[in-house]
Amino acid sequence: MEMQMDWSYVGAVVISGLVIVFVALILLILAVWIMGKIFTAIGSKKSGSGEKKAESAPAPQIKKEPAPILNSAEEDDTEVIAVIAAAVAAMSEELGQPLKIRSIRRAGSSSRSSAWARAAQSESTRAF
């Protein structure tokens, strides 16, 4: 026994489904937009007080010394150290408090890590 549906009923179901989906999407967009505005306002309040501190603090003095002649391996290390120092200086300005680099050491493959840890690291960083 075959049941026939009225096309007006099918059209009403399709249209009401589309309307419900799009209304829900619009509500989600509004909710995300409002949360973004709230978090931006909270972030600007926190960074506003940090900016006042940063503006009143004097800029650090950088002493320029002649660079010693280094081999290529040491030059690569100095470039990495310079990049790390620049990142720390940028974070120092952003936070409004002085940050210092106490030590920098190369992170090589240490014998302290087990074979299981190295296997897990290679498994999780391997290309797809």
CB 75 within 8 A of CB 46: no
Could you tell me what percent of the chain has a pLDDT over 90? Answer: 23
Residue 60's pLDDT band, with cuts at 50, 70 and 90, is low
- In angstroms, the Cα distances linking 117 to 8, 46, 52 are 64, 40, 45
User: 69-126 pLDDT, tens per residue?
Assistant: 555 555 567 888 888 888 888 888 888 888 888 887 776 655 567 888 888 888 888 8
Domain boundaries, the chain: 7-125
Three-state secondary-structure class, residue 127: coil
Mean predicted confidence (pLDDT) in 15-21: 97
Name the residue among 94, 87, 102 with its Cα closest to residue 57.
94
User: 24-57 pLDDT, tens per residue?
Assistant: 999 999 999 999 999 998 888 877 655 555 455 5
Residues whose CB is less than 8 angstroms from the CB of residue 51 and which lie 6 or more positions away in sequence, other chains included: 96
| 90, two tokens | 């940028």
